[in-house]
Structure 1
């Protein structure tokens, strides 16, 4: 990790990147493949990602899970471990329901299930390669750690 980026700063960058591109690959630790899902954030519930799905979706049964995130510009990466369970709070469902969700569930909220992914740990990488590193990538050369990226292992995104 670069000296100027604390784990908390890298975690805050992750949340900003996730708002720009709210898609993750997520799968239960059950041997099935991960799949792309759109996530919702609730500022009042840190360390939790919310995912609307069909009731019979792969993650709907819940359990231990892993999720991966790649930033829109391929300049940020995250691997998240946690647990998927059903969110039953009508207030949370109402708060997170919007036109983009309704487009997938035109018959309304009864057709959808809100899953919560409670993050227990995360590894985050910010790959903002310095100018000197970019030149080395173009013309060959060794990129040193101080030129390459920030990396953080965090237990909390809050």
Structure 2
């Protein structure tokens, strides 16, 4: 696996590409009451041009309560079938921006909020990445496994992917 650190716009594009492909992250929030993070699956709504990752969630959630005390989050993305992984650490800002709620509203979100777009529990979460790291396979799982076997048999080191820091 080769190392390829990306900076600025290239890093933002890589985050966007991977988050759009994987979609669901395990969002980890933190609280002083526990030594361990609280992790929940979250579907992104958008990765904007600045690399910020946007979500809709409920003010009744444990994540919301944790973010009131500590605005640090970690987002962990995994597409096991293609061996693509992304780890993002960042800071969270919560709002009730109705324009964003309207923009992101869909049938999936509707299932969580029975009162619709005007539900007072809906919150908009903006995660601004502070650092990120990725592991990106250059091909699908089958091709990767074949390359690993070929490498083991031939003794040659084959490039099966890349990893690196994303400096946003």
TM-score interval (norm. to shorter): 0.7 to 0.9
CA contact (8 A) 1:49 1:116 kept: yes
- Cα distance change of structure 1 residues 104 and 140 upon mapping to structure 2, 3 Å threshold: same
Q: Do the aligned partners of 1:10 and 1:152 also contact (CA within 8 Å) in 2?
A: no
Q: TM-score, normalised by structure 2?
A: 0.73
Question: Which residue does the alignment assign to 1:76?
Answer: 84
Aligned pairs for 1:20-99 (under 5 A) are 20-30=21-31, 31-44=36-49, 46-61=50-65, 62=67, 63-71=71-79, 73-99=81-107
Q: Partner residue of 1:137?
A: 148
Instruction: Determine helix, strand or coil for the equivalent of 1:24.
Output: strand
- How many residue pairs are counted as aligned between the two chains? 153
Task: Tell me the distance in 1 between the aligned counterparts of 2:51 and 2:12.
Answer: 10
The CA RMSD over aligned residues, in Å, is 3.0
Contact 1:124 1:152 in 2 (8 A): yes
Please report how far the alpha carbon of residue 79 of structure 1 lies from its aligned counterpart in structure 2 after TM superposition: 0.5
d(CA) in 2 for partners of 1:56, 1:65: 18
Work out the CA distance in 1 between the residues paired with 2:122 and 2:22: 22
Alpha-carbon shift at residue 122 of structure 1 (Å): 0.5
Distance 1:132 1:99, change over 3 A: closer
Greater shift in the superposed pair: 122-131 or 85-94: 122-131
Tell me: CA distance 1:138–1:119, structure 2 relative to 1, closer, same or farther (3 Å). Answer: same
Q: Which runs of 5+ in 2 are unaligned?
A: none
Q: Which one has the bigger strand percentage? A: 2
